[in-house]
Amino acid sequence: MMNSEMRTTVTFENPVFNTTERRDYFINEGCFGDDVARALMEQLRSRGYQTDTEPGQEDFGWYFGFRAGDADYQFVIGHRPADGNDPAVWIGWLERKAGLLGTIFGARNRGIQPAALNAIHFAISALPQVSNIRWHRKEDFDAGKEELGQPSPK
């Protein structure tokens, strides 16, 4: 399967995690997701996956590394607040870990294995009060075509 056909971006709803209280350690005002990242890491570890000890912070959210099969991955998570008719959602995407040179040449989006996608899907599905999990092709999501999302990464 070509990676352009793989669904590597996921959206889901979950009211359990912090979306309102700014923490002192946030880089930016809306940098929510540290608790989601920790919960996903815990789910992965409970299934035998190796994960980073703590999530890292981006200017818009959080990320963590994990190993699936013989490859290292990063899962990035951020929050989109409710807007008019659209509910608040968590947005995440899966990437291969790549060094600087690999990143420059697009390696983060190549070689993603279904086992890694399934691991993240099961971790999200196991969260309390999760709903409306939708997996998207990156190209579709970036183009605003979220209606094309499916309930699983397959």
- Cβ burial of 70 (10 Å; 0-12, 13-18, 19+) is exposed
pLDDT at residue number 111:
73
Tokens of 19: 């979306």
* pTM score, whole prediction: 0.89
- Alpha-carbon span 98 to 89, nearest angstrom: 27
Residue 37's alpha-carbon distances to 2, 117, 128, in angstroms, are 27, 15, 14
CA angle, 66 as apex, 64 and 68 as ends, to 5°? 150
Class level of CATH domain 3-148: alpha beta
Q: Note the pLDDT tens digit of each residue in 57-81.
A: 998 899 999 999 889 999 999 999 9
Q: Domain spans of the chain? A: 3-148
Contacts of 118 by beta carbon, 8 Å cutoff, 6+ apart = 153
pLDDT at residue number 146:
93
Question: Which residues in the chain come in under a pLDDT of 70?
Answer: 1-4, 98-110
